[in-house]
Structure 1
């Protein structure tokens, strides 16, 4: 019995630690990595190119990558994606819909969910008399939701497009805590011949998250760590802006073969482990290639997440994440696949990402 109590005591401490690391990260400061689930990315086609699509994106998924690219739509489009994270512990889901309003403007709506479900809550496993009661075990989920409303419009200058996003962030940690957040993005694209240029500014107003916490529920976790009196953390979180700049070019061979090459620079205004890092900003480059045959068959490859990694012997090395992908399109239905370590350049196992895009032209 004493051995079992030690095990469940460790489980309580682990649950308390997971809660604090998730919630205290939302303390009243400007965070380097706040709302990071919104930076993972969407669409297997983009993952296959290591997310180097800011300048070339021109479909329903542009609502995420660069809303200015939405003006490339000729008809309504729907996109769906599912991926697993952390060895299938977490689920990452995405859905988006876009429709032209007229010949110059487009609107879109996208939803992202990143969550871990059916987490065991063993904080009440042992009753006041010290008896273990398995009926006191409950389940809870922790999930992050991002809802984005996008608007894009062509400007009078030929080839110049602009777009804006309004984001609503909802984060839930069981019955313990939850938050609401709001932010804005803005993007620009300029196309000239086979050249494409793009700029995407994320969280330009510093996305604001306000947390609320159930003090009674928090007490059940904090009391799990015996001998410690845990205080409630602060409840305001601010996400710093990010900037993405991209340039792309299409190379056409014998009309049926087209190669798209893009290079992006991702700026984060904080000092990180990115390959270029200063106190003012850090820069992470990304390179992507897409080979297209008669707008039906796609083969993709890319490199991104260039990071300075410290080895066990104290020396530094540069790590990066290679991605590959393929796609098939037929009469308005496009299916894409990417082999990628989602959002992480570590030694973790690579993930399989599938996405589907439906163009309303199929119904014509």
Structure 2
């Protein structure tokens, strides 16, 4: 499954890799809500976060992710880029085990620009400001599926002109298999419209999709995004992609190393989590610039219902652990007393509590060696007795039971073929007997009885020629 997931993510990103040469759609209304990254973590992962969306920045990437959060979180990002200041502030709050809400603001302030009249005389300075307020709601339909909505209020201000509009985003998140997430967001299903002076800017409808897979044995999160910008305008729509990874190091604190690439830049990042505070930093490198991101995330605790669930899970786990310890202890005492069968019955009770427990499996293996080892030896002795009495059928049955109980019993395998060779010779099936004796010598080239029997058989075959 891990290989399939990795291949899926690779093909998903590679299939549209050629679109890196397509125009990036810059200049569209609300572009800062599509091409920017409100968190250093996502930026360091190639802006591929639609299929992850598991922190306070989820409303920007995929509001459905809020439903899977256990803690209330607050997040802050402040970036200066080419004299333009971008900022984000937001928080998410789980209401119970299935629903959560969020409120956040993201916007930018451009540098001051000079106004001039028709003859070039200065009329002062003006500034452009854009901001978006997101009110988010998410609900978990099942343990593997959730949906989320953003009510988006956007503002734009240029000089003395200003406008605002209202839009809606919808997202979904599903986990089809363990450690995998697939996400999709339809931005501006109700498009916001802003009118400054005579022109009206209408936000485009965008489709964002993403997939992520966590290789839990090595704590490596891989993720990929594919977005179609302005999907209702066939000739103007553009495709954007991003792919990234996050490696989790557990030392004195949780440390994260990240790398990613998207349609216009490569990025690298790192993060550290101390208690309930996480600091993330990332740098992006493109043909035209080097940009930086820094984010601060605070975990503020769990809702009472989530706390009760965790406490109950811990109590249940503790009860199970104590029961397992008691059963293991009793089984070991029975084993020391030589009551192997009773020891086995006792340890098998652990399967009703925790079938995945490894300790009982190791102990059961040890018990079985004693039980089946002794039983196998008894069948082996009976087989040799029957073989000496030329009772080939009973000997054959006993040898096979020996091997069934102890597949590593080499002598039983050896004499099973020797017994079959003797039966074939008694029935004058000399070629079959020859093959059986040769098989015996493959298993044990030092078997004297088989060597002598094969020598006599070959003499008989020479006489029959």
Do Structure 1 and Structure 2 share a fold, with TM-score over 0.5? yes
Match of 1:34 among 25, 29, 36: 29
Larger radius of gyration: 2
Q: After superposition, what is the alpha-carbon deviation per residue over 1:233-266, rounded to whole angstroms, capped at 9, x for unaligned?
A: x33221221111111111023xxx4000112111
Match of 1:304 among 239, 259, 262: 262
Is 1:240 matched up with 2:201?
no
Alignment partner, residue 353 of structure 1:
293
Alignment partner, residue 181 of structure 2:
196
Alignment partner, residue 286 of structure 1:
242
Alignment partner, residue 136 of structure 2:
150
Q: Distance in 2 between matches of 1:125 and 1:95?
A: 43
Alpha-carbon distance, 1:355 to partner: 0.5
Gaps of 5+ in 1: 1-30, 127-131, 214-233, 273-277, 306-319
The structure-2 alpha-carbon separation of the partners of 1:301 and 1:270, relative to structure 1 and needing over 3 Å to count, comes to: same
Q: After superposition, what is the alpha-carbon deviation per residue over 1:264-309, rounded to whole angstroms, capped at 9, x for unaligned?
A: 111123699xxxxx7384322211101012381101111111xxxx
Say if 2:156 and 2:194, in contact at 8 Å, map to a contact too. no
Q: Distance in 2 between matches of 1:281 and 1:321?
A: 20
Is 1:61 matched up with 2:57?
yes
Q: Distance in 2 between matches of 1:36 and 1:269?
A: 11
The structure-2 alpha-carbon separation of the partners of 1:281 and 1:141, relative to structure 1 and needing over 3 Å to count, comes to: closer
Alignment partner, residue 261 of structure 1:
222
Secondary structure of the corresponding residue to residue 43 of structure 2: helix
Alignment partner, residue 78 of structure 2:
82
Say if 2:63 and 2:147, in contact at 8 Å, map to a contact too. yes
Alignment partner, residue 277 of structure 2:
333
Match of 2:69 among 69, 73, 80: 73
Alpha-carbon distance, 1:361 to partner: 3.5
Alignment partner, residue 314 of structure 1:
none
Secondary structure of the corresponding residue to residue 204 of structure 1: strand
Q: Distance in 2 between matches of 1:117 and 1:280?
A: 29
Say if 2:88 and 2:105, in contact at 8 Å, map to a contact too. yes
Q: Considering only aligned residues, what root-mean-square deviation do their CA atoms show, in Å?
A: 2.6
Alpha-carbon distance, 1:81 to partner: 0.4
The normalised TM-score by structure 1 is 0.70
- Work out which structure has the larger RCO, using CA pairs closer than 8 Å and 6 or more positions apart in sequence: 1
Match of 2:190 among 205, 216, 229: 205
Q: Distance in 2 between matches of 1:107 and 1:361?
A: 15
Higher strand share: 1
Is 1:104 matched up with 2:104?
no
The structure-2 alpha-carbon separation of the partners of 1:32 and 1:243, relative to structure 1 and needing over 3 Å to count, comes to: farther
Q: After superposition, what is the alpha-carbon deviation per residue over 1:56-97, rounded to whole angstroms, capped at 9, x for unaligned?
A: 1111110110000012222221100011122xx111111111
Alignment partner, residue 187 of structure 1:
171
The structure-2 alpha-carbon separation of the partners of 1:144 and 1:72, relative to structure 1 and needing over 3 Å to count, comes to: same
Secondary structure of the corresponding residue to residue 170 of structure 1: strand
Higher helix share: 2
Alpha-carbon distance, 1:53 to partner: 0.9
The structure-2 alpha-carbon separation of the partners of 1:271 and 1:103, relative to structure 1 and needing over 3 Å to count, comes to: closer
Alpha-carbon distance, 1:350 to partner: 0.8
Alpha-carbon distance, 1:106 to partner: 0.7
Q: Distance in 2 between matches of 1:271 and 1:205?
A: 13
The structure-2 alpha-carbon separation of the partners of 1:32 and 1:119, relative to structure 1 and needing over 3 Å to count, comes to: closer
Q: Distance in 1 between matches of 2:269 and 2:258?
A: 5
Say if 1:80 and 1:356, in contact at 8 Å, map to a contact too. yes
Q: Distance in 2 between matches of 1:174 and 1:63?
A: 30
Say if 1:270 and 1:279, in contact at 8 Å, map to a contact too. no
Gaps of 5+ in 2: 1-25, 308-465
Q: Distance in 1 between matches of 2:53 and 2:132?
A: 20
Secondary structure of the corresponding residue to residue 236 of structure 1: strand
Q: After superposition, what is the alpha-carbon deviation per residue over 1:308-333, rounded to whole angstroms, capped at 9, x for unaligned?
A: xxxxxxxxxxxx42111100001110
Alpha-carbon distance, 1:99 to partner: 0.9
**What is the aligned residue count?**
274
Secondary structure of the corresponding residue to residue 55 of structure 2: coil
